[in-house]
Amino acid sequence: MTSDANLKQPAATSSRPDTAWQDDVRAGVRQVRDLAALPLSPAERAAAQEAAAAHKVRVPKPYLDLIDWTDPNDPIRAQVIPSPEELIAIEGELDDPIGDHAFSPVPRLTHRHADRVLLFPTYQCAVYCRFCFRKESLTSIGRGYTREALEPALAYIAGHEGIREVILTGGDPLSLPDKALAEIRSRIEAIPHVRLLRIHTRVPVALPSRITAGLVAALQGRLMVTVVTHFNHAREITDEAEEACRTMRQAGFALLNQSVLLNGVNDHVEVLEELCRELMYRLGVKPYYLHHGDLARGMAHRRTTIAEGQALVAELRQRLSGICSPTYVIDLPDGGGKVPLAASHIEGCEDGTWRIRGQDGKVRAYREVVG
Ligand SMILES: *Cc1c(COP(=O)(O)O)cnc(C)c1O
Ligand code: SF4
């Protein structure tokens, strides 16, 4: 085979069939009862079962296989296996940490910024993350996709000409069948003022076999497609995840990643550095946001302080190129939106001369010259 022919190979290079993801789901943890099969101590199992009653448990096999069970502080385990700390309620934590509900004019839609909306086709996920900031919605609503349920949201988008981006989130949109995704995509692209379809998903991380030729075809059409993945640790970047991302890149999708800063998972500069580099260099996924831990209930043990986050990202920025560097943000309660948290480099300004701290830490004077 010539190298030319190699280039024309279809995106999917795996020998597994396009239905392999169904086996990966079946062989994973799908409900509380499946926790019994995991190598947990009786005490850990009892605690996990109790915590799983408050926030659903689901872990596809490929993600489960990444856990090192000999390490009680394993960063993969910490993200998906319920722990007793989740049951500790702390004053100040919130059911709706980022104020989605206050900006929801119709069911299944949040409109906080003029040009973009969040659309929730499903409140179900392929994996349930313990730190999820929408876990109350996922637990209390539990609804899947139906065509009818999205009608008011689609009518709302059609009626607001300023909306350019539709962000499918949830729940995990890529937990839906290809047919549902194609239907949603075609309904959205029929609205002429919408330009871009964005998909926020943890499927490329937790169930990469789901990223099939059929899935990407379902999303291709008139709209620019951006997929925002959710990798939190370099150990999640596997050969399978690489293949899933290659499939999406070759389909013409732009790939970005958002991570959550989590105590005991990725709150070390070396861990974040490796994550960001591998995302960009191996997966072709641009690190977009690093989220400060939201005030989701039962997650105090996973949050860092803002000062710790600021110190981490300052060090990270020293080590990484601009394209590998995410923006550290907080999603403010009551719908204040996402705002940058990194410490400012501006020390002050007097008579048109700014004092700005350089990347080397030294403060320099910058005199503005404006014609
Ligand atoms: C995060 C979010 C967006 C997307 O914001 P970007 O900064 O463009 O990524 C849009 N709407 C809502 C309500 C959000 O929470
Ligand atoms: S996949 Fe996303 S929405 Fe679902 S539990 Fe994880 S963080 Fe929450």
Ligand 1 atom nearest residue 113's Cα: 11
> Of how many residues is the chain composed?
371
Q: Tell me whether residue 128 is in a domain.
A: yes
Ligand 1 pocket, Cβ-based, cut-off 6 angstroms: 98, 110, 112-113, 116, 118, 167, 338
User: For position 13, what pLDDT does the model report?
Assistant: 60
**CATH, residue 106:** 3.20.20.70
Residues 147 and 201 in one domain: yes
Say if residue 371 is preceded by a cis peptide, omega within 30 of 0.
no
Residue 168 within a domain: yes
Residues 359 and 321 both lie in one domain:
no
Does residue 284 lie within any of the structural domains?
A: yes
Handedness of CA 105, 130, 311, 321 (dihedral sign): negative
**Strand, helix or coil at 50?**
helix
Is the full-model pTM beyond 0.85?
yes
Q: What is the pLDDT of residues 334-366, one digit of tens each?
A: 888 899 999 999 999 999 999 999 988 899 999
Q: Which of the listed residues 55, 129, 131, 133 should we mutate to test ligand 2's pocket, taking the one with most ligand atoms within 8 A of CB? A: 129
Tell me, in angstroms, the distance from the centre of ligand 1 to residue 179's CA: 26
- Report the run of H or E that residue 365 belongs to, with start and end: strand 363-367
- Give residue 44's pLDDT: 86
Look up the domain containing 361 and give its range: 347-371
The predicted pLDDT at position 1 comes to 41
Residues 103 and 232 grouped into a single domain: yes
282 plus 369 within the same structural domain? no
**Residue 119: strand pairing partners:** 109, 168
- Confidence band of 170 (pLDDT split at 50, 70, 90): confident
**Cα 106 to Cα 111, 116, 152, 155, distances in angstroms:** 9, 15, 6, 10
Tens-digit pLDDT profile for residues 300-322: 999 999 999 999 999 999 999 99
pLDDT value at position 53? 83
